[in-house]
Structure 1
Amino acid sequence: MSKALNFTEGKVFSPLIKFIVPILLALFLQSMYGAVDLLVVGQFGNAADVSAVSTGSQVMTTITVVITGLTMGVTILIGQKLGEGQPKEAGYAVGSGLCIFAILAIIITVFGISLAGPISKFMHAPAEAFDKTVDYVRICSGGAIFIVGYNIIGGIFRGLGDSKTPLITVTIACISNIIGDLIFVAVFNMGVAGVAYATVIAQAISVVLSLFIIKRRGLPFEFSPKTSIKFHKGITSKILKYGTPIALQDGLVHLSFLVIMIIGNSMGVVASAGIGVAEKLVGFIMLIPMAFSQGSSAFVAQNYGAKKYERAKKVLLYSISSSLFCGAIMFYITFFHGYILAGIFSTDTEVILASWDYLKAYAIDCLFTAIMFSMVGFFNGCGKTTFVMIQGIVGAFLVRIPVSYMMSKIVPVSLFNVGLATPISTFVQVILCGIYFIFISKQLSNTKVEDVVIDNIACIDSVK
């Protein structure tokens, strides 16, 4: 039987970094799925192929982040239950989570396959790339069960403090995806459909491998398929309580990026391909703050469950400082040398220049997301996911979408100006997070005082 890591004792910084590094590598390799797809069609296809893959993968990414958001409900609850010393409840969290996501997989499959055409139309996919975009969305939706399965299993491992196992499985899946892309596209000339099939097959391999590892190692608490896999009263509602706001926030945030993609698609196939390439690069650029967000959530969850609030705040401090240091480096590389990065995914000079223009705005965002993502991870670990949802919606719909739309109306239209909507919205979210952190710090301080009083009363009673 495997053993869950204890984050409530000992040092903070070094265990945090050791936990986050495998998460970062796993996120990197997961991002390679779409990146390799785009890279292969960029080398063996044309601008229409690049546009189709970038638009279709953006849709599937939005679906994936919603799933990942929901799995955070499982991650947080497992971490809190282990911190509280209730392993049986942690097992129930796993069982209830599996039931929730089984239903979700069916819904995504049915709607994704049947609505691939309307979705592509909504995305304003260029005429040259429309049919290929439909094929990509339809094929990937057919493999939704593997996308969902991978994310729920990853959420369970993170809740246990295990970030290394998902790294192993995603590494093998990424290698499988690269091999599949080269075979289907370079050898059999299947184009966009080929990279979609390769992605689904790679996800399936990852899920099967993860299940094999779980069966061999076991879980650090009692888990029986007959008694654990069902909708446990109280547990199911808590998973949805924690996960739904995160999923809704992440989904709506990515919906705002879809709106920007729609704006780019309406500007022509070059702008569409340029934004598509940039978005793939952004997926890598933002990996470090994303890793700190996920890692600190699991770390904070255990300490919050153990009522070690000051230790949880230390996690936030280390997370922000480390992420901000890395963000400054990414700013320099992206802003001044973004054309080199864009050239990795396309040989078309116009597409490269369009992509670099858009990337310059994201370079600025590297500094703000280092702070915002770490604070979101802290709030998620504390179970304050409703606020996370609210600040995300404010940033997406009250700032990012309106600003990007207004920028698209300024003549001459600049992808840099359109992209500025993102760092502006993140800056607003940082301010909101800072205000809420002050508020929650006071709450935690009052709770700590109350706990001390209760403990003292208990001691006096025991003496009597």
Structure 2
Amino acid sequence: MSIKDKFVSREIDFTTGPILRRILVFGLPILIGSIFQQLYNIVDSIVVGNYVGTEALAAVGNASTISFCLVGITIGLTGGSSVAVAQLVGAKQNDYIKKAISTAFIFCVIVAAVLMLIGIGLARPIMGWVRVPEELMHDSVLYMSIYVGGSLFLMTYNFFSSVLRALGDSFTPLIFLIIATVLNIIGDLFFVVVCGLGVAGVAIATVIAQAISAILCAIYCYRKMDYFRFKKGEFVFYRPLFKDIVRLSVPSAIQFATGSLGFVFVQGLINSFGTAYIAAYTTTSRLEGFAHLPMECFTQALAVFVGQNIGARNIPRIKTALLRVIIALCSICLVIALLVYTIGPEMISIFVGEGGDEVIAIGSQFLRIWAPFTLIFALMNCFNSVLRGAGDSLFVMLSSFLDIGVRTLSAYFLILVVGMDYYGIAYAMMIGWSASMIEVGIRYFTGKWKTKAISAVGGGQAASD
């Protein structure tokens, strides 16, 4: 029996069978894939920090934050589109699935192309707007221009992988992500260490890896999945479904964009502290992303679970799944806190070369403040996943606005008014998460999310409890 047969022998039907086991089986490839996705960022940082220098590491951190503000929009679109597909799968509306895929893909390509042109054309003005130090300006602009220039490939991979997950297959996207990560590591070492291209080499390696992964994923979908094999006249832009796709995906895209924009505002605040603090924030952000992976594994799986079950009108199953996921995440958050308090400095030291003691000290203190509040982050994402999977995307977007708005305002208030210095950013994160968690928690308990399914599966009708 192959690995795939053991874990994901076919698309998973979340509407029947043991709840937590199905979520774990579906979520495990997502977790492994997310680990490899983080390795993208971590390897970039390690190679740049050790072979180019602290300034280059800070430049990549700046450029990555700003680039994701644009790229995140397409990630939101592809994720929102997959919710529509998941609901159609749960409702057994097979006739609409192909139309949803073709319509969403056309929409995502157009948006991604426009954002790519904007990112390349406005890279330098944007860097000036967020007060990037002059010594980091050239490398920051260079990295952003190359990375955003390849964003169509990233959108393509995310689209196909998101739809595959909506169909219940989380294993196949993992394979192509592993391939991309290995290629990215090889590319980093070749372009940076061998060719000496510095920051540009890291960006080039990432784009090449994403392009190969996207192409391979598209070929697989065409050859193996009937839903992606379009006959003449089937690849259409279907307006009735487009309205639902926009309703589900645009709020998700805006959520990603505003989330990234909030980080850009905070990045401007961090830049005022100097290169050591920028580098420390870059490393802690990488570690935070890694620590959040188990939570995202569960919550991404939960969103697909909810999507299929809202389509099948099975609300009690959704409520049971939410409770079990929350219990699992409590244990994970405890482990994260223990790791931070025991080996936090050692983890940060991986990213910096000699003379990085200041960066290690700053980053370690930041993580110690951040770690206890990961449970709030986990609860917020659990409720968000239920709402997103149910199709209540507009409210999820509003909760994101609240999180980012409160977090950003709190950061500026704590640092500029209270005088809490750099570490006020960690407390601001906790305040933003708490506000959003309370909001989405209240929304969940009102039950209004039960009527947000797309029209093809009976959206607007009251679901049975």
Question: What TM-score do you get using the length of structure 2 for normalisation?
Answer: 0.92
Which of 352, 360, 377 is residue 369 of structure 1 equivalent to? Answer: 377
Partner residue, 2:124: 117
> Is the 2:306–2:318 contact (alpha carbons within 8 Å) kept by the matching residues of 1?
yes
SS in 1 for 2:14: coil
How far apart are the structure 2 equivalents of 1:27 and 1:170? Answer: 9
CA contact (8 A) 2:84 2:100 kept: yes
Instruction: Give the structure 1 partner of residue 394 of structure 2.
Output: 386
Residues 410-419 or 96-105, more deviating: 410-419
Query: 1:312 matched to which residue of 2?
Result: 318
Determine if the alignment matches structure 1 residue 59 to structure 2 residue 63: no
Partner of 1:461: none
**Separation in structure 1 between the aligned mates of residue 237 and residue 60 of structure 2, nearest angstrom:** 37
CA–CA distance in structure 1, aligned partners of residues 257 and 460 of structure 2 = 35
1: CA distance between counterparts of 2:332 and 2:221? 34
Task: Using the TM superposition, give the Cα deviation of residue 335 of structure 1 relative to its aligned residue in structure 2, in angstroms.
Answer: 4.2
**Structure 1 residue 63: Cα displacement:** 2.8
* Pair 1:202-2:209 in alignment: yes
Measure the CA separation in 1 of the matches of 2:252 and 2:363: 29
CA 1:357–1:228 in 2, change beyond 3 Å: closer, same or farther?
farther
Separation of aligned partners in 1, 2:342 and 2:192: 33
The DSSP-based 3-state class of the residue aligned with 2:233 is: helix
Q: Residues of 2 paired with 1:316 and 1:164: CA distance? A: 23
Q: Distance in 2 between matches of 1:311 and 1:20?
A: 17
**1:29/1:171 contact within 8 Å kept:** yes
Per-residue displacement from partner, 1:414-441 (whole Å, max 9, x unpaired)?
3222221001111111111221111017
> For the Cα contact (< 8 Å) 2:78–2:155, is it kept in 1?
no
CA distance in 2: counterparts of 1:134 and 1:442, whole angstroms: 42
SS of the equivalent of 1:125 reads coil
- Do the aligned partners of 2:310 and 2:450 also contact (CA within 8 Å) in 1? no
8 Å contact from structure 2 (residues 80, 245) kept in 1: yes
Aligned to 2:286: 280
Whole-angstrom distance in 1 between the partners of 2:186 and 2:442: 48
Looking at structure 2, the residues matched to 389 and 366 of structure 1 have their Cα atoms a distance apart, in angstroms, of: 21
Could you tell me which amino acid in structure 2 is paired with residue 238 of structure 1? Answer: D
Picking from 13, 27, 51, the partner of 1:6 is 13
Corresponding residue for 2:454?
Answer: none
Question: Which deviates the most, 226-235 or 305-314?
Answer: 226-235
Aligned residues: 448
1:352 aligns with 2:383: no
**What is the percent sequence identity of the aligned residues?**
30
**Partner of residue 177 from structure 1, selected from 180, 184, 189:** 184
Say yes or no: does 1:261 pair with 2:267. Answer: yes
- Per the alignment, residue 458 of structure 1 pairs with none
Sort the Cα spacing of 1:436 and 1:337 in 2 relative to 1 into closer, same or farther, 3 A: same
Tell me if the contact between 1:41 and 1:191 (Cα under 8 Å) persists in the aligned partners: yes
Per the alignment, do residues 209 and 448 of structure 1 end up closer, same or farther by CA in structure 2, a change over 3 Å counting? closer
Any residues of structure 2 matched to 1:22-61 within 5 Å, and which?
Answer: 22-61=29-68
The answer on 1:92 being equivalent to 2:105 is no
Hey, what's the Cα distance between the residues in 2 that align with 1:319 and 1:80? 21
Gaps of 5+ in 2: 1-8, 452-458
Corresponding residue for residue 236 of structure 2:
230
Q: Specify the alignment match of 1:68 in structure 2.
A: 75
State the alpha-carbon separation in 2 of the partners of residues 82 and 165 from structure 1. 18
Counterpart Cα distance in 2 of 1:185 and 1:377: 39
Q: CA deviation at 1:365?
A: 2.9
| Paired AA for residue 321 in structure 2 | V
Are the counterparts in 2 of residues 95 and 225 from structure 1 also a CA contact under 8 Å?
A: no
Shift of 1:117: 0.6
Contact in 2 for aligned 1:364/1:423 (Cα 8 Å): no
1:324 corresponds in structure 2 to 330
Equivalent residue, structure 2, for 1:459 = none
Instruction: For residue 449 of structure 1, report the CA deviation from its aligned partner.
Output: 11
Q: Describe the superposition over 1:188-238 as per-residue Cα deviations: whole angstroms up to 9, x where unpaired.
A: 11100000000000101111110121122123x474164333320121111
RMSD of aligned Cα (Å)? 2.1
What is the TM-score with the length of structure 1 in the denominator? 0.92
Mapping of residues 207-222 of structure 1, within 5 Å: 207-219=214-226, 221=227
Distance 1:175 1:395, change over 3 A: same
Q: Which residue of 2 aligns with 1:457?
A: none
Match of 1:396 among 367, 391, 404: 404
- Conservation of the 8 A alpha-carbon contact between 1:292 and 1:377: no
- Give 1:295's aligned residue: 301
User: Does structure 1 conserve the Cα–Cα contact (< 8 Å) formed by 2:39 and 2:181?
Assistant: yes
